[in-house]
Amino acid sequence: MEIIKSTDLVKRYGSRLALDHLTASILSNSITGIVGRNGAGKTTLLQIIAGFTQETSGNIEVFSARPFNSLHVSANSIFIDDFLTFPNTLSLVDILEEGERFYPNWHMDLAKKLLAYFELDEQTVHNYLSKGKKSTFNAIFGLATRSALTIFDEPTTGMDASVRSDFYRALLKDYLAHPRTVLVSSHHVDEIEELLEYVLLIDQGKTKLHMDIDDLREYLIGVSGRTELLEQWVKDRDVFFRRRIGETETYLVIQNNVETKDLEKLGFRVESISSSDACVYVTNKHKGGIDDVFRDH
């Protein structure tokens, strides 16, 4: 069942187009990574889904309702990001108790265990925590709600590597025990790819790719070989990335719709492209990469 459906979704901030006719749908009880470069429109999309921001035009449905200002969507979703703050007048455990009153599926036991595991003092005030600890607490809050729709927008900002991997593991374990729809946005696809079932890649406010994570791992291949042969062969194909290797050879990244054997017969070397690299290549505006900037100097 589709829990989120967006068609031709547009969001405009002044003259800047944050979402440009974005169409996508998210299945219920799945973990989807919302991936894209800085300013691609990830946060805008997630805020519209959570009902915090109003779309400029187009159509968006969450739980079959328009999310903006919807009590139904608010009751069934949680939006966690690093701007989330809690009042100074409440201690961490007070905040958890408030959460328990609002969220019917709230899991206090899990929340308290996670607080203890991540060494967060129950009596501290949220504002006095370090940046990483704040993110950790926010993430714990998000997990404990067990909302039908759980949205994490860059949840690991400021967390150190071990806390990050612990958090993702906790998310995965709790998701397996209590399936729900989870959206996670991140710059680091490699970090969350173990967790994800689907990837929604957004580029310049549009859906660039939306596919199974396993398909994304095989979406692109890297081919290297003698420049003239390779360029001749690749003439009619889309090249996502191109780099010269030494004087005579070239490395290209292309879509994986050819038989590896055929390529190897031609004397080319083929290598796989990881999902995070695939995301970078697909959204690359300059086919040559950063090296091009320095070419003439």
Partner 1 sequence: MSSETIKFWPIVFKQFLFKWNVNKDMFTTLAILQVIALFFSYSGSGSFHYMDGVEFNIHTSDILIVFTMIWLLVIGVQILRPMNALTTYTMTANRKVDHMSNIIWLIVMSGIGTVTVLLASVLLQLIMNYISGSIAIMPEVPLTFWSYITGAVTTFIYLVFAGAVGYFFSVLSQWNQLVKIIIPFFLIGTLFIVPAIIPDDLLISIFTFIFLEKVFMVFVLKMFVIISLLFAASMGIGNRLEVRK
Binding residue for partner 1, selected from 6, 136, 147, 283, defined by CB under 8 A:
147
- Other Cβ atoms closer than 10 A to 8: 14
- Other Cβ atoms closer than 10 A to 13: 11
- Packing angle of the helix pair 161-177, 108-117 (nearest 10 deg): 160
By the 8 A CB rule, do 275 and 193 touch? Answer: yes
Binding residue for partner 1, selected from 39, 87, 267, 288, defined by CB under 8 A:
87
Binding residue for partner 1, selected from 10, 25, 61, 75, defined by CB under 8 A:
75
For residue 222, the minimal CB distance to partner 1 (Å) is: 40
14 or 246: CB nearest partner 1: 14
Q: What is the DSSP pairing of strand 149-153 with strand 77-80?
A: parallel
For residue 39, the minimal CB distance to partner 1 (Å) is: 15
Which residues lie below 8 Å from residue 265, measured CB to CB, with a gap of 6+?
A: none
Query: Which run of H or of E encompasses 7?
Result: strand 2-13
Q: What is the DSSP letter of 111?
A: H
**What strand order describes the sheet that includes 31-36?**
77-80, 149-153, 181-186, 31-36, 198-203, 206-212
138 or 276: CB nearest partner 1: 138
Helix, coil or strand: residue 181: strand
Q: Does 79 help bind partner 1 (rule: CB under 8 A)? A: yes
Q: Does 86 help bind partner 1 (rule: CB under 8 A)? A: yes
Of the candidate spans 81-89, 184-192, 220-228, 285-293, the one that interacts with partner 1 by CB under 8 A turns out to be 81-89
Site for partner 1 in 177-196 (CB under 8 A): 178-180
Binding residue for partner 1, selected from 58, 66, 93, 98, defined by CB under 8 A:
98
Of the candidate spans 44-52, 212-220, 237-245, 269-277, the one that interacts with partner 1 by CB under 8 A turns out to be 44-52
Site of interaction with partner 1 (CB under 8 A): 13, 29, 47, 51-54, 63, 68-72, 74-76, 78-79, 83-87, 89-90, 94, 98-99, 101-105, 141, 146-149, 178-180
